[in-house]
Structure 1
Amino acid sequence: MTFLPTSLLILALATATASAFDPSPLQDFCVAINEPEVFVNGKFCKDPKQVTADDFLFKGFRYPGNTVNPLGSKVTPAFVDQFPGLNTLGISMARIDFAPGGLNPPHTHPRGTEILVVAEGTLLVGFVTSNQLNNTLFTKVLCKGDVFVFPIGLIHFQLNIGKTPALAFASLSSQNPGVITIANAVFGSKPPISADVLTKAFQVDKKVVDYLQAQFWYDNN
């Protein structure tokens, strides 16, 4: 049996880990442009000679998001689609506004770890581990200035438990981390998931599934 030298094994593991996230840039920057006729894993680059300082500026966080909605929260993303200067840099951000009692519902980012800092208010936050760790819930109450991290791909949430509006900013380890809101995906898919699947999965009566699938599942992004 042949064994790899330790140095080669470490290099192989590091390479495998790195390939699980956004690829490293091969140039100073690659400001995104939309090419609707061609689909690639990322965005095409703007001619560097036509790039200006404005390509690296995002003004979307200047004003509060509208929290007058069923969830009482609003996420303002600064992903590559909204902020072309992020292309190939492997990072993004979001502003999250909460009304009193507002919820950013259970969701995942399939391509990015999230680190959250509370700028105003008090939030109850948490994430759930995978089946491998018995779906363990890790939860904390965060106050102004506190920071919490949500590992890549795990279901997590934030709830404003204070009596005043709350504000948080999130940074993510991908230019396009994606968002899957659990309730919207399971009960609001188009076309709907078979009721036979959901009744058995959730061990509830079909009437419950029919009721949930008939609801309007609001998207706060």
Structure 2
Amino acid sequence: MAKSVLLCCVLAIACAVAVASDPGPLQDFCVADFNSQVLVNGIACLDPKLVTADNFFLSGLEKPGNVSNPQGSALTLATIGQVPGLNTLGISLVRIDYAPWGIVSPHTHPRASEILVVIEGTLLVGFVTSNPDNKLITKVLQKGDVFVFPEGLIHFQQNVGYGNAFSYSGLSSQNPGVVLVPDTVFGSTPNIATDVLAKAFQVDKAVVDEIEAKF
């Protein structure tokens, strides 16, 4: 009896670990109906009779994004907004292009883990563990290398080569969300109080004002 109970517990834990970030689908598919007025945790389903192959299709990920911006990077998304058929499936994809020495700013995905594969170039990547350790886990990746960023942890990418680079990332949510640390801290609306940020970062208020002006 005890062995049976133990086996059930192990199986329950294994099943729990296997669950993706998003709830599992209860039907073959639930193509997002962006015109629906029904409020649900996600997007309401389009009538299956109206579903076509185009609801599961996206083209254009072979095209480089525009990296002429201060970060020197560009994201081309394949999330529920671009592929309605992803609704309830718990996955999405993004192409990331990098100019030489371009970065993807430190950020988190509140609803997804991420697996990145380098297609061209050399990338420095890393994530930071949570308090109290705040340990930096980092590695330089070459073409064909894969790296995983755990859900919710701050992470970043940088092209450390002299030519353009790009990668693909798979995420364990149809809508992973992104919280860019610099934009969130220094570009909120309204702004976080200057004295709060000055004390948090242990700098003069004038430094905070200067940084906020850039966002």
Using the size of structure 2 for normalisation, the TM-score is: 0.92
**Cα shift at 1:33:** 1.1
SS of the equivalent of 1:207 reads: helix
What residue is the counterpart of 1:97 in the other structure?
A: 97
Correspondence 1:4-153 to 2 at 5 A = 5-10=5-10, 13=13, 17=17, 21-35=21-35, 37-132=37-132, 134-153=133-152
The Cα offsets for residues 15-43 of structure 1, whole Å up to 9 and x where unpaired, read as 65567720111111111111463432101
What residue is the counterpart of 1:209 in the other structure?
A: 208
The Cα offsets for residues 22-66 of structure 1, whole Å up to 9 and x where unpaired, read as 011111111111146343210111111111111111114131100
Q: Are residues 196 and 8 of structure 1, via their aligned partners in 2, closer, same or farther at CA, if it must alter by over 3 Å?
A: farther
Counterparts of 2:36 and 2:52 in 1: how far apart (Å)? 23
Counterparts of 2:97 and 2:152 in 1: how far apart (Å)? 22
Counterparts of 1:118 and 1:18 in 2: how far apart (Å)? 26
Moved more, 73-82 or 146-155: 73-82
SS of the equivalent of 1:32 reads: coil
Q: Are residues 202 and 89 of structure 1, via their aligned partners in 2, closer, same or farther at CA, if it must alter by over 3 Å?
A: same
Correspondence 1:162-177 to 2 at 5 A = 162-177=161-176
SS of the equivalent of 1:141 reads: strand
**Cα shift at 1:199:** 1.2
Counterparts of 1:127 and 1:157 in 2: how far apart (Å)? 7
What residue is the counterpart of 1:219 in the other structure?
A: none
**Cα shift at 1:71:** 0.7
SS of the equivalent of 1:55 reads: helix
Q: Are residues 15 and 144 of structure 1, via their aligned partners in 2, closer, same or farther at CA, if it must alter by over 3 Å?
A: closer
The Cα offsets for residues 48-104 of structure 1, whole Å up to 9 and x where unpaired, read as 111111111111413110001111100111111121110111000000001111111
Moved more, 70-79 or 18-27: 18-27
Using the size of structure 1 for normalisation, the TM-score is: 0.90
Query: 8 Å contact 2:38–2:44 — kept in the other structure?
Result: no
Counterparts of 1:7 and 1:70 in 2: how far apart (Å)? 54
What residue is the counterpart of 1:159 in the other structure?
A: 158
After superposition, the CA RMSD in angstroms is 1.8
**What stretches of structure 1 of length at least 5 have no aligned partner?**
217-221
Query: 8 Å contact 1:60–1:78 — kept in the other structure?
Result: no
Counterparts of 2:70 and 2:117 in 1: how far apart (Å)? 24
Query: 8 Å contact 2:20–2:172 — kept in the other structure?
Result: no
**Cα shift at 1:185:** 0.1
Q: What amino acid sits opposite 1:131 in the alignment?
A: N
Count how many residue pairs are aligned between Structure 1 and Structure 2. 212
Q: Runs in 1 of length 4+ with deviation above 6 angstroms?
A: none
Q: Are residues 119 and 31 of structure 1, via their aligned partners in 2, closer, same or farther at CA, if it must alter by over 3 Å?
A: same
Query: 8 Å contact 1:24–1:89 — kept in the other structure?
Result: yes
Q: What amino acid sits opposite 2:47 in the alignment?
A: D
SS of the equivalent of 2:167 reads: strand
* Percent of residue pairs bearing the same amino acid type: 62
Query: 8 Å contact 1:124–1:139 — kept in the other structure?
Result: yes
